[in-house]
């Protein structure tokens, strides 16, 4: 059959199983938007800013494990995707972005809305294409989806000139599959690597598993739990690893790193074996590399060989699919227990429990930790939470334990403020039967709050929880500790979020006391469509513990026990 390039794009998306895409039209992509009218099977969500499209595609991908799709026009439309592409790249999220480009004859002439988007996005995509021949278009779309979802997932961009979209050819869908000779992600570990890992596990007295995002992307949650239970090894989670193993499991220590659980960080520092699975030893996890787990042998298993020995030198590096490698190890792992080691960890956990703000008398103050913990209680811990970036993000990681994979979605590597609301919309499209909460701060929310119009237009059943402290809270916290409380450019003038929400036609409620939180959850659940709850929280609260940037992981600033005075 004879099709235009634009229709070929839509045919390929349909055959890739795409059901929804997030985008914004413009001149250079208009032929494809016109073709959409002939493909009603794929729902298009009109965003209010292209950054929102890339975050929605990302949230959809993380919630479902499928490839998310964003679409934009040339020039500013394409460059507005960059922050979302970089976010997806840092967190290994599979999305395909399709952008329009000026006609081939105008490329390089500084034509209206022309940008070299493949050049711009080269550092923040797994791969990208400029399609110069309509005959190659279908193959490129196929390859883009394949590359995005296989190996270490990531974003792929396809830039299509307008005249390629308009050109007609006799179309036959390529059925021969993908052959990329230079792209062969590793799968299995070598026999000598398996044997070495088994010996290291066998002789360890104080082992710790470090479980990252790769556990969920590699669908290795069952294998992780089996290894932990069989070998008696506690599990520490990265921020993006939350949900890789149920957080109420007795072997789970919580989140590691800068704002991680103190017991978790102490255990890492005193361990004699670290088994890192699908994580990349980010600086927020390790602290000072020179003093990181100094007495530990280290095993690192990751699908991306470039991550092995990149940040932390390891004794055994295995490049392979984490599920496949664990399946190789498990039959040979001996049943073990480490009672003395577990008892030592429990002592640290008891000390942390004494310091927990939830057990302190805070008077009339409404604290972010209380809000998050009550959201967890009143949603029975079953919601998908999608956070923005800042204090509320760390509080969510600490006070909303997740029992299922892919139920905590956040920007980890890039730390993208503005991610929360659009990513929550994308997640809801991906898992429409789940309860979804966007948990955001007053700062990050204002970066993409225009997407409230998208939520309203689509009547997306997303609950928005704004933790409003009138500050850029995490930056203010750093100013308090390290800049002698010079709060420059962190106090914020905010709109009346409830009135703003109602202007979009979204019901809203303001909460000022803790005894209103249960009512607020019931209110949000009663709304059939988007709802917003503003929580007016303490202005100068601090997220504890905190490892100062570049400090030793065990050198945490801890919340004082009652009667103690903190040393800043």
Beta carbons within 8 Å of 540's beta carbon, 6+ residues apart: 469, 471, 476, 480
Pairing of strands 168-170, 2-4: antiparallel
Max Cα distance, the chain (Å): 79
Alpha helices in 68-125 (DSSP H): 76-79, 82-90, 117-121
Structure-block tokens of residue 324:
């496949």
Q: What's phi and psi for 371, nearest 5 deg?
A: -60, -50
CA-to-CA separations, 386 to 284, 306, 395, 449, in angstroms, rounded: 20, 29, 13, 15
Peptide bond into 545 cis (omega under 30): yes
Residue 565 is classified by DSSP as -
User: Which residues, other chains included, contact 215 with Cβ-Cβ below 8 Å and sequence gap of 6+?
Assistant: 221, 224, 241, 244, 245, 277, 278, 322, 405
Identify the residue whose tokens are 């005075």. Answer: 565
Tokens 């940037």 belong to 549
Instruction: Give the single-character DSSP code of 322.
Output: H
C-alpha 543/C-alpha 534 separation (Å) is 20
Cβ contacts of 315 within 8 Å, gap of 6 or more: 200, 297, 298, 299
- The residues carrying an active-site annotation are 50, 112-113, 162, 474
**Nearest residue to 5 (alpha-carbon basis) of 28, 25, 35:** 35
Distances (CA, A) of 543 to 90, 259, 444, 479: 24, 7, 17, 13
Tokens 């490839």 belong to residue: 67
């Amino acid at each position: 059959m004879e099709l235009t390039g634009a229709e070929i794009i839509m045919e390929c998306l349909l055959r890739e199983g795409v059901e929804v895409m997030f985008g914004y039209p413009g001149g250079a992509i208009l032929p494809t938007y016109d073709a959409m009218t002939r493909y009603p099977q794929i729902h298009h969500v009109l965003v209010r800013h292209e950054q929102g499209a890339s975050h929605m595609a990302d949230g959809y991908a993380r919630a479902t494990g499928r490839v998310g799709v964003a679409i934009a026009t040339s020039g500013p439309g394409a460059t507005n995707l960059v922050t979302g592409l970089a976010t997806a790249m840092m967190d290994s999220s599979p999305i395909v972005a399709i952008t329009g480009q000026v006609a081939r004859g105008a490329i390089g002439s500084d034509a209206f809305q022309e940008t070299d988007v493949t050049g711009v996005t080269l550092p923040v995509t797994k791969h990208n294409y400029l399609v110069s021949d309509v005959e190659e278009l279908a193959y490129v779309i196929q390859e883009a989806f394949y590359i995005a979802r296989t190996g270490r997932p990531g974003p792929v961009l396809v830039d299509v000139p307008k005249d390629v979209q308009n050109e007609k050819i006799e179309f036959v869908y390529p059925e021969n599959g993908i052959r990329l000779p230079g792209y062969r992600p590793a799968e299995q570990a070598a026999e000598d690597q398996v044997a070495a890992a088994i010996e290291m596990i066998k002789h360890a007295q104080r082992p710790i598993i470090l479980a990252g995002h790769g556990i969920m992307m590699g669908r290795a949650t069952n294998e992780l739990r089996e290894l932990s239970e069989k070998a008696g090894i506690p599990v520490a989670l990265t921020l993006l690893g939350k949900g890789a193993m149920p957080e109420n499991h007795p072997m789970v220590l919580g989140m590691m790193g800068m704002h991680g659980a103190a017991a978790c960080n102490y255990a890492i520092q005193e361990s004699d074996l670290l088994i890192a699975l699908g994580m990349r030893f980010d600086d927020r996890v390790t602290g000072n590399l020179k003093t990181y787990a100094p007495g530990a042998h280290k095993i690192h298993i990751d699908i991306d060989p470039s991550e092995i020995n990149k940040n932390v030198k390891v004794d055994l590096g295995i490049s392979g699919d984490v599920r496949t490698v664990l399946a190789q190890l498990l039959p040979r792992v001996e049943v073990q227990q480490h009672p003395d080691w577990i008892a030592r960890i429990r002592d640290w956990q008891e000390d942390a429990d004494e310091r927990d703000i939830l057990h302190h008398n805070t008077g009339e103050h409404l604290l972010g930790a209380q809000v998050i913990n009550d959201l967890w209680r009143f949603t029975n811990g079953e919601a998908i939470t999608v956070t923005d970036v800042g204090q509320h993000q760390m509080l969510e990681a600490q006070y909303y334990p997740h029992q299922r994979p892919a139920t905590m979605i956040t920007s980890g590597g890039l730390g993208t403020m503005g991610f929360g609301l659009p990513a929550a919309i994308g997640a809801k499209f991906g898992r429409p039967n789940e309860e979804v909460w966007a948990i955001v701060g007053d700062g990050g929310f204002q970066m993409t709050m225009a997407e409230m119009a998208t939520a309203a237009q689509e009547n997306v059943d997303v609950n928005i929880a704004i933790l409003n402290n009138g500050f850029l809270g995490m930056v203010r916290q750093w100013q308090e500790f390290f800049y002698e409380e010079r709060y420059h450019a962190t106090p914020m003038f905010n709109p009346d979020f409830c009135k703003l929400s109602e202007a979009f036609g979204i019901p809203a409620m303001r909460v000022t006391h803790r005894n209103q939180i249960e009512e607020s959850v019931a209110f949000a659940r009663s709304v059939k469509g988007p709802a917003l709850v503003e929580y007016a929280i303490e202005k100068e609260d601090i997220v504890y513990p905190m490892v100062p940037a570049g400090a030793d992981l065990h050198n945490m600033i801890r919340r004082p026990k009652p009667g103690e005075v903190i040393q800043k």
